[in-house]
Amino acid sequence: METPALKTKGRSRFFAGLASTDHRAVARLYFFLSLLAVVLGILLSLLMRFHLVFPQAQVGWFAKLWPIGAEGGVMTPELYLSILTLHGTIMVFFVLTLAPLNAFGNLVLPEQIGAKQMAFPRLNLLSFWIAAASFAILLASFMGADGGPLSGWTAYAPLSVVGAIAGPGEGLGQTLWFFSIAAFSVSSLLTAINIIATVIDLRGPGMTLMRMPLTCWNWFVTAILSLLAFPVLLAAGALILLDRLGGTSFFVPAGLLVGDQTIQHSGGSPLLWQHLFWFFGHPEVYIAILPGMGIVSHLIANFSRKPIFGYKAMVWASISIAFLGLLVWGHHMFISGLNPYSAIAFSLLTMTIGVPSALKTLNWIATAWGGSLRFTTAMLFALGFVSVFVTGGLSGLFLGQPQLDAYFHDTYFVVAHFHLVMGIAALFGVFAGTFYWFPLMFGRMLDERLGKLHFYLTFIGAYATFLPMHFAGFAGNPRRYSDFTTFDFLAPSMPLQRWITHSAFCLAAVQLIFLWNLFRSLRRGATAPANPWEATSLEWSESESPVVRGPYEYSLPGEARDFLMQNEESRGY
């Protein structure tokens, strides 16, 4: 049996890395795939924000890019909705799932637990290429003559089932979309199995579960959640493809008339799709955010030079968030037409998630409290994460109550909520991880001055974009509207919407600082020292001694330095 190449450091090996089963090489592939995806996702969001405030604008290159969807340069509603669908799908799957879990999990997890490799290195590479193929299929679904699917990333049946009669792009485009999602589910499932096996079987000598860094705990818990959630999406995707292509009726009831066409299905339930989708979809939120929580816990301890406050509590909080996350899918369906009493159970469980989340927040602040804080860019993003997570999480107190949700459901209040708590917070985790582990990935350091500039502008820009968005929700502004001109009640929100658009463009523009920093540092960044952050965990250790202590032994009294690596004997006393 061949042994996979170890630690292929440095950028020169990047192209060889396309077929390498080394965990760092696979991690870099995921990193660049999600980087490509996030750039595309942001550009799509700018198109949407532009169209919302200038719905009648004629843009020459729109017509060139989309001869049918934007004939004469004016974006049609169906083009807008397909951009919306692509934006959501890219961001949720290819950015918020791939970057925090697959990229950083692959890069750091084996190193931190003292494993040389992932448990199944070749399966790992296969997972990546399935994800890449899934991305290609997703892009292809938007290239059809009719344009892309317009049913949003949630693809509610029967709109997503009955075919082209329901709207342009609902033919071949929607079919390809479901194939892409099914492929992505397979990829995520394989990755989950790999991470779980690695944590269980490949921990090095002395690395007990309760000595694992919180990053590893959270990747582990996230992988378990993936293992339970993605098969449901895969099954749902298979069923809906059968409905579309095989003439079955899992999700379509009898007696539908779409346009002037009678639909030949009978006996299915549109709500069944929502149950299956959200049974995946809610855990997906935690799949996106839990790795970020782990990164933030790890970094705040590191840069406060203090042990993490309440290690065990943090582990149990992650486990309970994941467990409860499996039980609350119904809060996406308060107004779907379920028996109203079910909403009370889903509401209670939903509000309960606030408890471990609040505990985590408190423990992050308690960890930093009175520490000797080092304000590196990575630390700033970690602290920014805490702020954004609190702000975005608190709007969950409104949405978790069925009565209040009845007004806010599918308004911009929800858009603001999930962009802050799932989008921006998770991306802050990714940025923090990028600055922290860039040396591990490429052997060089990112520029700290550019990094800090990027952080501050992003932090301000994110709040300037998404805080006012709650107010559009207070005014009842529905989401997924391609323009705000039909309804009288939307007119007063237009100045607010224009502000949000301007702010979103600024927020996107400052991301260029990050891209510049990234690509410049790949070539010219300072060479990284062995342990650039004076951290305790094994990914920075050059010795192979067994682990003898927990992951956050900072500032122990009597020691020569203010940190002890996990595999380092104490020299103090």
Partner 1 sequence: MLLGPILLLFTAAACVLFALKPVWFPLPISAEALAYDRQFVWTLWIAGAIFIAAQLLLAWTILRGRKRAIVIASGGRRLEWTSGIATAALFISLSVLGSRGWAKIPVRTPDKETIEVHAHQFAWNFRYPGPDGRFGRTGIEFISDAGGNPVGIDPNDAAGKDDIVTATLRVPAGRDVLLLLHSRDVIHDFFVRELRTKQDIVPGMEIPLEIHVDRPGTYEIACAELCGLGHSQMRSTMLVMPPEEYDRWKRQR
**What part of residues 235-294 is at the interface with partner 1 (CB under 8 A)?**
253-259, 262, 268-271
Phi, psi dihedral angles at 479 (to 5 degrees):
-85, 170
Minimum distance from CB of 71 to partner 1 (Å)? Answer: 14
Assess 459 for contact with partner 1 (CB under 8 A).
yes
What is the distance between the alpha carbons of residues 221 and 229, in angstroms, rounded to a whole number? 12
Which 522-561 residues touch partner 1, going by CB under 8 A?
554-555
CA dihedral 419, 422, 425, 428 (to 10 degrees): -100
Minimum distance from CB of 474 to partner 1 (Å)? Answer: 5
Which 372-391 residues touch partner 1, going by CB under 8 A?
372-373, 375, 380, 383-384, 386-387, 390-391
Give me 478's structure tokens. 């529905």
Assess 454 for contact with partner 1 (CB under 8 A).
no
Minimum distance from CB of 406 to partner 1 (Å)? Answer: 4
Return the number of the residue (200 or 406) whose C-beta is nearest partner 1.
Answer: 406
Which 56-75 residues touch partner 1, going by CB under 8 A?
none
Minimum distance from CB of 197 to partner 1 (Å)? Answer: 32
Give me 204's structure tokens. 């090095």
Return the number of the residue (112 or 377) whose C-beta is nearest partner 1.
Answer: 377
Q: Based on the number of CB atoms within 10 Å of its own CB, is 41 exposed (0-12), middle (13-18) or buried (19 or more)?
A: buried
| SS3 call for 51 | helix
Total residues binding partner 1 (CB under 8 A): 111
What is the distance between the alpha carbons of residues 528 and 353, in angstroms, rounded to a whole number? 40
Return the number of the residue (320 or 531) whose C-beta is nearest partner 1.
Answer: 320
Site string for partner 1, 114-143 (x = CB under 8 A): ------------------------------
**Number of helices followed by number of strands (H, E) in the chain:** 18, 2
Return the number of the residue (77 or 231) whose C-beta is nearest partner 1.
Answer: 77
Minimum distance from CB of 271 to partner 1 (Å)? Answer: 6
What is the distance between the alpha carbons of residues 319 and 220, in angstroms, rounded to a whole number? 10
Return the number of the residue (24 or 417) whose C-beta is nearest partner 1.
Answer: 417
What is the distance between the alpha carbons of residues 118 and 115, in angstroms, rounded to a whole number? 7
Minimum distance from CB of 48 to partner 1 (Å)? Answer: 13
Q: SS3 sequence, 91-153? A: HHHHHCCHHHHHHHHHHHHHHHCCCCCCCCHHHHHHHHHHHHHHHHHHHHHCCCCCCCCCCCC
Return the number of the residue (177 or 463) whose C-beta is nearest partner 1.
Answer: 463
Give me 92's structure tokens. 């949720």
* Widest distance between CA atoms in the chain: 85
Which is it for strands 261-262 and 257-258: parallel, antiparallel or unpaired?
Answer: antiparallel
Using CB under 8 A, which of 67, 72, 205, 337 touches partner 1?
337
Quick one: the chain helix, strand, coil %, rounded to 5?
A: 65, 0, 30
> Taking contact as CB under 8 A, which single stretch among the options 235-243, 280-288, 356-364, 442-450 is the one that binds partner 1?
356-364
Return the number of the residue (219 or 412) whose C-beta is nearest partner 1.
Answer: 412
What is the distance between the alpha carbons of residues 523 and 527, in angstroms, rounded to a whole number? 10
Assess 397 for contact with partner 1 (CB under 8 A).
yes
Give me 172's structure tokens. 């071949």
CA–CA–CA angle 174, 179, 183 (5° rounding) = 145
Give me 61's structure tokens. 């290159």
Using CB under 8 A, which of 471, 510, 522, 548 touches partner 1?
471
Minimum distance from CB of 377 to partner 1 (Å)? Answer: 11
Assess 150 for contact with partner 1 (CB under 8 A).
yes
Assess 97 for contact with partner 1 (CB under 8 A).
no
Return the number of the residue (27 or 462) whose C-beta is nearest partner 1.
Answer: 462
Assess 341 for contact with partner 1 (CB under 8 A).
yes
| SS3 call for 525 | coil
Minimum distance from CB of 61 to partner 1 (Å)? Answer: 22
Using CB under 8 A, which of 193, 359, 506, 513 touches partner 1?
359
Choose among 430, 464, 434: nearest CA to 447. Answer: 434
Assess 439 for contact with partner 1 (CB under 8 A).
no
Residue with tokens 């309440």: 310
| SS3 call for 423 | helix
Minimum distance from CB of 514 to partner 1 (Å)? Answer: 18
